[in-house]
Amino acid sequence: MTRGGRDKSRDEPERKCIASGETGSKTGLVRFVVGPDGQIVPDILERLPGRGIWVSADRDLVTKAAKKGLFARAARAPVKAPEDLADTVHDLLTRRVIELISLARKSGDAITGYEKVKEWLVKGTARVLIQAEDGSERGKSKLRPPEGKNTLISWLSAGELGLAFGRERAIHAALAAGGLSPRIVEEAARLSGFRAPSGEPDAEHVGGISAGKDM
């Protein structure tokens, strides 16, 4: 099992983390490449050309790789790793998760609102329960995630979750089985490794987009 909570038994390509030395499914790591200017660039979508350099989806390990010159060692060339590299990865992953949930909403595979989410849970339609980390604990405790592994995402803020549904804030959401749900779970798990210990993002905004707080 990786730090992001994924089962390593899945038949997927494995990669070695340059910071921890551990080998695991690439779904639990982040790919980086060396840009034309010699700067390390996160490749969240894993589409950029060039040899991939892999680091576990963990804030501390990305910071370690940047500070200790591990990217240069892996690239076998002088490279520049920004001091805020972990923050950049955090923001990119946050945007990715919001984007995927939004796409799931448009296809009818994601809903928000307490009553709608409750109905999906009761009917067995929901595969994943999403609860805003800054929502009311009393309200959130009334909804239980479906049985099984990786059925709860609880580290997005109400503002971030709201962005996915085209509103200012959202506390409760659910994903249906299939569709984009497996990808959302994987990307959210990667994101969890870059969140502060409290579960809150390190900044009050993500990529320049305000993420509202509970009043």
* 52 within some domain: yes
- Summarize the confidence of residues 124-139 as an average pLDDT: 96
Whether residue 52 sits in one domain with residue 101: no
91-119 pLDDT, tens digit per residue, is 999 999 999 999 999 999 999 999 999 99
Whether residue 155 sits in one domain with residue 118: yes
**pLDDT class of 11 with cuts at 50, 70, 90:** low
Whether residue 91 sits in one domain with residue 77: no
Angstrom distance (rounded) from CA 165 to CA 144: 21
Q: How many structural domains comprise the chain?
A: 2
Among 82, 102, 118, which residue terminates a domain?
82
Domain of 74, CATH number, reads 3.30.1230.10
**pLDDT class of 13 with cuts at 50, 70, 90:** confident
* 18 within some domain: yes
**Domain span at 78:** 14-82
pTM of the model: 0.85
Whether residue 166 sits in one domain with residue 123: yes
pLDDT value of position 120: 98
Whether residue 99 sits in one domain with residue 69: no
Among 48, 64, 82, which residue terminates a domain?
82
Domain of 159, CATH number, reads 3.30.1330.30
Burial letters 3-16, b for 16+ CB under 10 A, else e? bbebeeeeeeeebb
Among 82, 115, 141, which residue terminates a domain?
82
Least confident stretch, 75-84, 128-137, 167-176, 192-201? 192-201
pLDDT value of position 179: 96
41-84 pLDDT, tens digit per residue, is 999 999 999 999 999 999 999 999 999 999 999 999 999 999 99
Whether residue 62 sits in one domain with residue 111: no
* 5 within some domain: no
**pLDDT class of 8 with cuts at 50, 70, 90:** very low
Which of these, 78, 46, 59, 76, lies nearest to 19 by C-alpha position?
59
* 8 within some domain: no
Whether residue 45 sits in one domain with residue 112: no
* 51 within some domain: yes
